[in-house]
Structure formats: C-alpha cells, structure tokens
Structure 1
C-alpha cells in the first residue's frame, strides 16, 4: 500500500502521457526516471498485495470458521470501501479538478473547483478511484471462498492440489517458471502485458481475472506454508534480476523505436511482465521472511498506519504539486518533496487523529496507544 503513495507522487512528473488516468502533468519538470519508477512499482505492487491477501484469507478460512472469515472480510473490506468512497468522492473531484485546471493554465481554477461542491452530483461516486483494489478484493475473496467450499467436497482433488503446490513452491526455479507461465497465458488471453487498474463501478473482466489469479496463488501458498522458508533461497538474486528486466523493458518501450507502449499486445512485453512480476513476488517475499520475521514495533506501526495512509494520500499527491509548479527545480526533487510532504501529513494525521480513535478501530479492528517510547 505504501508504494501507492510513491507511485502516485511520481505520475505528475512522468514523461509518459497517461490521459484521463492521470491528467495532472508538470510539463516543465518531467523526468524519465519517474517513468521507470512507475513501471517498476506497477509491475508488482498490486499482484503481491493480492497474493498476500489470498494467503491471509486462507489463514482465516482454515484456522477460524469460514463464516468468521467472511465476517472479518466484510468488516475490513466492504464497509471501509463504502464509507471512504462516499467521503473521498467530493474531495477527489475537487483536488484533481483544481490541479488539472491549474496545470492547464486556467485562471479561475480554484473558483471552478470550489463551485463543484454546490452540485449534488459531486457527492455521488462515479468510479472507485484508488479504492478499486478493495472493490476487486471483495470479488476475488467471494470467488475463492466459493471455490474453497466446493473443494471441501472433493478431498482427493484438494490433496492433489496441495501436493503439487508443495512440490512447485519447494523448487525455486520451477516456481518462477511455472507461475510466470500461468501469468503469460493469462496476459496473452487478455491481450495486454499490463492490466490497467479499472476504476469503473462496472466490474472489469480483465482486472478481475488478473488479480484474482494472484489471490488464488496466495491461497495455495498458505496450504504450502511449510515451504515459506524456501522463498529465502535466491531472494536477492530474484529482486536484482527483476530490476534489470524492468530497466530493459523500459528501454524497449521508450527508446528502441519498436512502436511499443506499456500496454502494447506484444509477446515480448508479456514475457517481460510475466517474469518480472514473479521474480519480484518471490524475491520480495523471501527478503521479508529473511529480515522481517521477528517482531518490530516500528514495522507494526507502519503496517497499522498503511491502510489510513493509502486511503487519504491521493488528493494530497494532486494538490502538493500545485505548490511546486513555479519552483525552479527539477522533476526528481519535486517528486521527492511531494512524496515526503504527503507521507508527513498522512502519518501525522494517523498518529493524532486515527490511531487511538474510533477510526483506527474501524480500519484495524482495535485502537492503539499513541505512545512511541518503545519504537
């Protein structure tokens, strides 16, 4: 979730034109480095999120009663999605409307943006915005739970799946090749190397199929959890190879003059995307198991804050660039300032207004003390 803050802060300074997906651009401060950063983060951020969600969804399903798991997911996913979609919709329309008109040279940008609040339609959600992941997490969870109930009726098939999963996860090279092959097949069928994050209120088939595949594999990983330690093998190598492949992929898109874009239906780009995502997933997961298996108060604090930070960060990544528009510094510095400023506001608001309040309990299931002496 935290990488969403970095990704959205970088988009304003991308050389790439993102159209209506991100219509804010500081044309005087674009920098190709931010494009590579966005390409890299987008290649694994949400796939690994859905895989982890599948893993812990399975934990709740098998370690507690299935209906307790369903209740938990409803409270942690469905209700926050509805509440924050309603709260954030007018804020999002204001912030992005104001930023877009400001960078477009509109003199009355602020007046026009504020005028939106007088219209009833501004309060009605027209998209899921950056909360799309909760929307599709609900669909992925529902689909997988139904599938799990069906598999309970076929114990022999279930055992065979567990056995094969154990074998595949145990083999470092095989697991990368096997799951990359599955992703390659899915992307080939979907005819794109990069599945766009659909923010439409009408469910998108491509988004559902792609991200649910990672949720399912995360669920399968839980049934083979005894193999988690094996993910530490070649973890650093996987991450380094993934970064190198991202750089090569970016060069092919930006400079190779092959007519390729990040979403061009090309077997070459699909092969890159399929390999990169699983190298990152197994590499990063292995690194977290290696270095993050022990309790850390700091990491727990950041983890608890991440939900709130992600929910509220997006309007800030649209508004802070306005303050820097006329500042004569390069795009990298502006990107860093926007990222840091957004993080400071998000974490400060979490600490003083969320962590030990009903909002913190609503998002994380309990209130936490503000005392940081133990950090």
Structure 2
C-alpha cells in the first residue's frame, strides 16, 4: 500500500475551499435572502443552484476524508498520538477561532447597519435578539469532528470491536441500503435544504449523517480495495447524481420566511411540522451519490503528488477558518454598487482567496499558528540548508 494517499490531501483542500465558494454564492442567491449576513440586492438563481449543489457533498466528503485520515493516524502513530494530535489540530483551533470570529462578526453587523444601503434582513434580526443562541458559525465542523475523533479514540481501545464495526460499515449492503435509510431517518424532521448543526448541543441527525460518513472513511482506509472496485460504477453514479440533484432542485420547497428564520435564531430549531418523505429521500440520495462521485473522481484524477496542490491543501485550512469575516468585508461595500451579481461574486470570491493565500504564505505558514494547523514546515532557507552538501 502506498505511503501517502495524495488524493486525500487534494480532496481535503478542495472541500475546504469549496466552502468559500458556497458562502460567497449565498449572498447572491434569492433563495437565501433571509438566511445570510451579506445578502445583496442584485441576485441570480444560478447562485442558488451553485450553493445548494456544493452543499450536498462538500461537508459529507470532508467527513469521509477526516475518517480516512483518522484511521491513518491511529494505524501509523497509535491511539494516544491520534487523540493528542486531533486535540491540537482540531479542538484548539475551534477554541481559539470561535470567540474571535463571533467578536469580529458582531462588529461587522454593526458596521453593516450603518454602512449598507440595504441591510440584510438576518442582520437586523440578529441585532434585535436579546438572548441569542451560541452559534458555532462555519466552525461547527471542528466541533463535530472533535466529537467523532473522541469516539473513534474510545472505540480503538477495543480492537476487536472497531475492526468488526469497520468491516460492517464498508459492506455494500450497508452503503447502499442502511446508510441511506439512517441518514433519511435522521433528517426527516429537518428543513430542506438540510442546515448545518450550528448549536453546541450535539444533534442526533449530525451523528447519523456525518458520524457514519466519518466511520465509512476510516473503513475505506483499512479496506481500500473497495475504492478500486467502486471505480467500475463511476459512470452509473454520475448518472444517479445528475438525476437526484435534478429531482432535488425540482422538489425544493419555498425559501424560509423571515419569521421561520427568527424562530430558528431564537430557539436553534430547524424542524418542519410536516415531513415530505420523498424530498428527504431524494436529498439523501443526492448527498451520497454526489459525495461518491467526488471521492472517486479525486482518486481517479488527483492521486499524484504536486507541490502546488499540496501547498493549496495546506493553505486551505487557514483560509477556511478566516474567510467569513474577510468575505463580509468585501461583499458589504459591493452591496452598495450597481455591478451585476456575477461580477460581485467573482470579485468577492477572488479577493477573499487572494487575501487568504497571501496571509497564509507570509503570516501563517512558517509560524506557530502554521504549526498548530498543519504541523511544522521547513522554511525555504532551511530546505536549502538541508539540500546542500555537507
């Protein structure tokens, strides 16, 4: 078996950077007018489809990759090293960046109210909330990832049990039958499109979805031949993904009203009174088929080392952590211009990524923060010294 799975590195970076694309698109899609902090008066439905499509597989793919990486760490470094590593690389960034992000976003909302010609409805709503729920924002994935890592660490204390679980999770009958049923059951009471589990309180549906996908990723490391066998079904999976995504868009309900958003902000509840089982099942099938296509495409075309793609993968963690405040700082001034939505999206996305890469290279990569996020990196001078003859 190869020493490093390059497609895992590359897919992880792409999944995180897709988060920047997703959040940038939310500002310019009419469906999300009541649900985002920097919505713009200029909109186009294209951005609704872009945001919803990436939302279907972006974080599911990330948790499959996270489980794969967890299995690698436990196998190569041991269970004790694994939990220490995840506490440092996952829990500590969450503890550091969450309060900083919330503080910056609060100041930005004050600025939006004063600066914007058309303050977003969600900003006005949040400013009026007297006792807001603690919201983990875009960092919710770190909170759940740490929980899954802690459970994985506990399960690995019993090698017989974890081996049996990983054998079951990777069986075709589990992937094709049990996994869709469990995810659909978990999401049955949620609004569609399914929300992010932003609250600090663990949510069962997130365990049914992201937790099982994490375990599936861990199982794929130990049973990597399954990936090779699945490649023969790549084209049928693409067809299933296209059909289910099309049906998903067709069946989508109306966008949530501002009153529904207000209730969700005040209570943290994102449940529906009446379940549309067909829509939930179609959403689940779209999630799983799109995630499978993305994973297999990564294995097929991204499984080679490239210094530029490795650099992007390393930078993506930092960029994702800091991108929301930066994105808002770019999108809020743009909201007062008459530029078309596509131009605003292009400017805000490219500017945010540019700031992210520049700040990573000059302010993070070779610093203590860079070591925290990605481990120690040799500086160019150190690399030159190591390569020089002695």
State TM-score, norm by structure 2.
0.78
Superposition deviation, residue 290 in structure 1: 0.8
Q: Please give the residue correspondences for 1:324-363 in structure 2 after superposition, counting only pairs within 5 Å.
A: 324-363=334-373
Moved over 4 A (4+): 157-167, 190-194
* Maintained 8 Å contact 1:351/1:370: no
Aligned to 1:39: 52
Aligned to 1:221: 220
Greater CA drift, 61-70 or 199-208: 199-208
Superposition deviation, residue 136 in structure 1: 1.0
* Maintained 8 Å contact 1:24/1:96: no
Q: Secondary structure at the match of 1:233?
A: helix
- Cα deviation digits, residues 143-201 of structure 1 (max 9, x gap): 2322333x42xx3x6665455455428xxxx844553233223323x555544213223
Would the alpha carbon gap of residues 251 and 349 (structure 1) be closer, same or farther in structure 2, given more than 3 Å must change?
A: same
CA distance in 2, matches of 1:147, 1:240: 37
CA distance in 1, matches of 2:368, 2:153: 30
Aligned to 2:123: none
Aligned length: 340
State TM-score, norm by structure 1.
0.81
Say yes or no: does 1:23 pair with 2:31: no
Q: Secondary structure at the match of 1:207?
A: helix
CA distance in 1, matches of 2:378, 2:33: 39
* Maintained 8 Å contact 1:55/1:220: yes
CA distance in 2, matches of 1:357, 1:159: 38
Q: Secondary structure at the match of 2:185?
A: helix
Q: Secondary structure at the match of 1:366?
A: coil
Aligned to 2:108: 95
Superposition deviation, residue 105 in structure 1: 4.1
Q: Secondary structure at the match of 2:68?
A: helix
Aligned to 1:180: 180
CA distance in 2, matches of 1:207, 1:18: 25
Unmatched 5+ stretches in structure 2: 1-15, 120-126, 128-132, 255-269, 382-390
- Cα deviation digits, residues 48-73 of structure 1 (max 9, x gap): 11111111112212332111111111
Would the alpha carbon gap of residues 237 and 353 (structure 1) be closer, same or farther in structure 2, given more than 3 Å must change?
A: farther
Superposition deviation, residue 75 in structure 1: 0.9
Superposition deviation, residue 280 in structure 1: 1.4
* Maintained 8 Å contact 2:64/2:217: yes
- Cα deviation digits, residues 102-135 of structure 1 (max 9, x gap): 44647xxxxxxxxx9xxxxxxxx94322111101
Unmatched 5+ stretches in structure 1: 107-115, 117-124, 256-261
CA distance in 2, matches of 1:283, 1:38: 18
CA distance in 2, matches of 1:31, 1:363: 36
Q: Which has the higher contact order (CA 8 A, sep 6+)?
A: 2
Q: Aligned-residue CA RMSD in angstroms?
A: 3.0
Q: Please give the residue correspondences for 1:114-125 in structure 2 after superposition, counting only pairs within 5 Å.
A: none
Aligned to 2:22: 7
